[in-house]
Structure 1
């Protein structure tokens, strides 16, 4: 393994996967298109976010993928910006869910005002195990970026599964060090309480 240059960008685990398999992103897109066509519920996370907002809330879908959550939240009346590092997924979001602002970008370098987008979001949501796909050295930068882009009374909602290389206590410590205070810990997107043996975490944060 070659040493990382001092200012060299560190690719996410998702980017490493797609670099090794050029069809991975396309198959990921088609998987959710097929699920939607079959009538499966693929927006449960978005319904929770919708319940946290009045109409016209500003939402950052961080690691938006092909737009399944941001598209739903736009359709029910919110202003949505979606960011993902994968241009194939962003292209699918633009095709399937016109309306939100979809941007290709690295969450560890998040600076939306520099791209002409207001930073004060009412909710920042990161679902789909996005946190587990980050390169470990970039986790703190990503969480700090969320804190910077949050409205004073806004909330950050992050969900991911156990056994993916990012232990829940470590994640919560990183969030606290990044300026986020945990308000609520759940084990599912349908509001079941988090327990020590939970296999999934949905954490709701506000600014510390």
Structure 2
């Protein structure tokens, strides 16, 4: 068995496994930005394949997409052009390197930072979270927005329906049938949700095993970190959102609970 990340190494397979033909994530983010009157310069952190960054660009925004994966960035440039794509670590990134499409190299010029699909939860430690929020603060104009969507740590308080039992998924890509077995478990000491996934294919290749983890953040814990870094929380709720059930639809207003599997936050940096 080999070890690697089959999805991030093959962005086209990633989009086949996690399709978003209606661009729900990008549309939800755009709805949040419009609701709070954000100006056009947007940084999409953990942009992945570039789908959401490209949607925001299509809405007339000036977008920079940032990710650590060179494979994802190459794919985004080719398949989802429009934004400027750069390599950056969301745990500690330099605004001077990012800039915006029309003012590269400038700092403090983004009107909003968007961080979707639990990308923020790759900040595994308090130092990582402080680095992320400090970098956001340096990159945003006064009054700028942070829009994030992620798994909700509170969901796993007393619940185990998503844990310790493999979940299977199958798809066919480029004529090859793939099957994945994904198991989630909680590492309580590290406060992480650990994910193990084994891929098998019918082309005779060896199985691929990958491991990743997300920080389990509780809603009030997240609120505390944001407040400590000078943000005012405008929304903090479990849905509706792009990955909730039922999913967000145009015109839906943010909820008030924070109990379900996903967590959505909109915060404004102090003027």
Q: TM-score, normalised by structure 1?
A: 0.79
Q: Which runs of 5+ in 1 are unaligned?
A: 1-18
- Following TM superposition, by how much is the alpha carbon of 1:102 offset from its aligned partner in structure 2, in angstroms? 0.3
Q: 2:222 aligns to what SS in structure 1? A: helix
Q: State how 1:1-208 maps to structure 2 within 5 Å.
A: 20-33=3-16, 40-41=21-22, 43-51=23-31, 52-53=33-34, 57-114=40-97, 116-118=104-106, 119-136=108-125, 137-163=127-153, 164=193, 165-188=216-239, 189=241, 190=248, 191-208=253-270
Distance 1:183 1:104, change over 3 A: same
- Following TM superposition, by how much is the alpha carbon of 1:85 offset from its aligned partner in structure 2, in angstroms? 1.2
Find the aligned partners of 1:24 and 1:34 in 2 and give their Cα distance: 8
The CA RMSD measured in Å over matched residues stands at 2.5
Q: Would the aligned equivalents of 1:55 and 1:78 in 2 still touch at CA under 8 Å?
A: no
Q: Would the aligned equivalents of 1:63 and 1:84 in 2 still touch at CA under 8 Å?
A: yes
Q: Would the aligned equivalents of 2:234 and 2:266 in 1 still touch at CA under 8 Å?
A: yes
Q: TM-score, normalised by structure 2?
A: 0.62
Find the aligned partners of 1:178 and 1:153 in 2 and give their Cα distance: 13
Distance 1:120 1:195, change over 3 A: same
Tell me which residue corresponds to 1:16: none
Q: Would the aligned equivalents of 1:147 and 1:178 in 2 still touch at CA under 8 Å?
A: yes
- Following TM superposition, by how much is the alpha carbon of 1:60 offset from its aligned partner in structure 2, in angstroms? 0.5
Find the aligned partners of 2:13 and 2:72 in 1 and give their Cα distance: 10
- Following TM superposition, by how much is the alpha carbon of 1:35 offset from its aligned partner in structure 2, in angstroms? 5.6
Aligned length: 187
Distance 1:130 1:194, change over 3 A: farther
When you count helix as a share of all residues, which structure comes out higher? Answer: 1
Q: Would the aligned equivalents of 2:95 and 2:135 in 1 still touch at CA under 8 Å?
A: no
- Following TM superposition, by how much is the alpha carbon of 1:199 offset from its aligned partner in structure 2, in angstroms? 2.4
Name whichever of 184-193 and 19-28 sits farther off.
19-28
Question: Which string of whole-angstrom CA distances, capped at 9 and with x for unpartnered residues, describes residues 31-76 of structure 1?
Answer: 315665xx733x2232133232479711100111110100111122
Q: Which runs of 5+ in 2 are unaligned?
A: 99-103, 154-192, 194-215, 242-247
- Following TM superposition, by how much is the alpha carbon of 1:26 offset from its aligned partner in structure 2, in angstroms? 3.0
Q: Would the aligned equivalents of 2:134 and 2:229 in 1 still touch at CA under 8 Å?
A: yes
Find the aligned partners of 1:102 and 1:138 in 2 and give their Cα distance: 22
Q: Would the aligned equivalents of 1:109 and 1:142 in 2 still touch at CA under 8 Å?
A: yes
Tell me which residue corresponds to 2:171: none
